[in-house]
Structure 1
Amino acid sequence: MEQKYVRESRTVKSSVVLPPDTNNHGTLFGGKLMAYIDDVAAISAIRHARKNVVTASTDSVDFLQPIKLGHSVCLESFVTWTKTTSMEVFVKVIAENLLSGERKVCAVSFLTFVALDEEGKPSPVPKAIPETPEEKWLNEHAPERAVARKKRREESKKLAKEFGVKKPWDPM
């Protein structure tokens, strides 16, 4: 299987935070930011695999600072690590006060995507080759995150099996 540089999957998306995007605190809705994160991460995964992809998990979204009305929000994503058919994608969210130029990292996120073949089955992906210090660090620590992801997924399966689907009127 071929290999690809991490930079080949790098994706950047920017927009201005407008009133319909904000909550009662005058900051960007968390759900709106999560949609942006999934969108930009999917583009990175597709660029890396050059195949259709599906979000397997949103491993984490850590909201570090609020993003205010009138500021810009810039999301940068790239594939950090791959297994056979899956890709870990890192997303960094930077807010900028457009009047002062002050910029700060407001959120970071890790997602996992699976590449699909023409029949919708998991399909092999190229290995990701890191080059920059940030890419190398993220790649080096990816196996640790994969172990935590696998453990969390097993716990989710247990929870779903144990508490499954119930009628809304049945007591927990």
Structure 2
Amino acid sequence: MQKFKSAKHSQLSITQLMLPSHSNFGGKVHGGHVLHLMDQIAFACASKHSNSYCVTASVNKVDFLNPIEVGELVTLKASINYTGRTSMVVGVRVESENIRTGKMLHCNSSYFTMVAKDAEGNNLPVPGLIIEDEQGVRRFTRSLERKKQAMSRSTKFDESQFKFQDYLKKLDKENVKVMLR
């Protein structure tokens, strides 16, 4: 196994035509179909970086920024943003293109944490990431920050440590009626 690899080594891009079978009841491309495509390219990118089978451990921040129309081309781009010991964060960007007008829209950017596995399902070490530019530094440190925030959320709201009294005042201005027994 190589000790380090650059993000360029495993960057991928795919483009697909969105068909009527991909649409939801509103006539737009179904978000679940888009997520399926994103997971596939994240898997391919992580597997290429790690030279092993990978599984999706988590998906961070899925915001659908613009709808995708049937008949448009959708391009997904994936790149390794972060490497841990056995995990990688794959940044995935989704863009749509109207074939008639050429207009392109940014539809989604998400971050998939992928874990390398051996044939028995055990975690495998992955090559580290060679950072070659300022954007690489930004992406890596942004991933570190998201990791730190996720850990904080997990512990802050852990059922055994959560004190609901500390949060009741915050609910006063929300669209909620608290009726505790």
TM-score interval, normalised by the smaller of the two chains = 0.7 to 0.9
Distance (Å, rounded) in 2 between the aligned partners of 1:53 and 1:155: 29
Q: Which residue of 2 aligns with 1:7?
A: 8
Equivalent residue runs for 1:26-41 within 5 Å: 26-41=27-42
Amino acid at match of 1:119: E
- Kindly state the Cα deviation for residue 140 of structure 1 after the two structures are TM-superposed: 2.4
Say which is worse superposed, 19-28 or 132-141, in terms of deviation.
Answer: 132-141
Which of the two has higher C-alpha Rg?
Answer: 2
Residues 57-112 of structure 1: CA deviation (Å, up to 9, x unaligned): 11221111001111111100111101100101100000001111111111011110
Are 1:151 and 2:144 counterparts? no
- Kindly state the Cα deviation for residue 157 of structure 1 after the two structures are TM-superposed: 7.2
Structure 1 unaligned blocks of 5 or more: 160-172
Amino acid at match of 1:149: A
Contact 1:15-1:73 at 8 Å conserved across structures: yes
Identity %: 32
SS of 1:62's equivalent in the other structure is coil
Distance (Å, rounded) in 2 between the aligned partners of 1:27 and 1:113: 29
Distance (Å, rounded) in 2 between the aligned partners of 1:118 and 1:26: 41
Say which is worse superposed, 56-65 or 146-155, in terms of deviation.
Answer: 146-155
Structure 2 unaligned blocks of 5 or more: 161-181
Q: Which residue of 1 aligns with 2:112?
A: 111
Residues 99-141 of structure 1: CA deviation (Å, up to 9, x unaligned): 1111111101111011112321111101112335443321121
Residues 133-157 of structure 1: CA deviation (Å, up to 9, x unaligned): 4433211211101112333455787
Change (3 A) 1:19 1:49: same
Equivalent residue runs for 1:1-172 within 5 Å: 2-153=3-154, 158=159
Instruction: Provide TM-score, normalisation by structure 1.
Output: 0.84
Q: How many residues align?
A: 159
Contact 1:59-1:149 at 8 Å conserved across structures: no
Amino acid at match of 1:141: R
Instruction: Provide TM-score, normalisation by structure 2.
Output: 0.81
Distance (Å, rounded) in 1 between the aligned partners of 2:154 and 2:113: 12
Amino acid at match of 2:138: W
Distance (Å, rounded) in 2 between the aligned partners of 1:134 and 1:26: 37
Contact 1:82-1:125 at 8 Å conserved across structures: yes
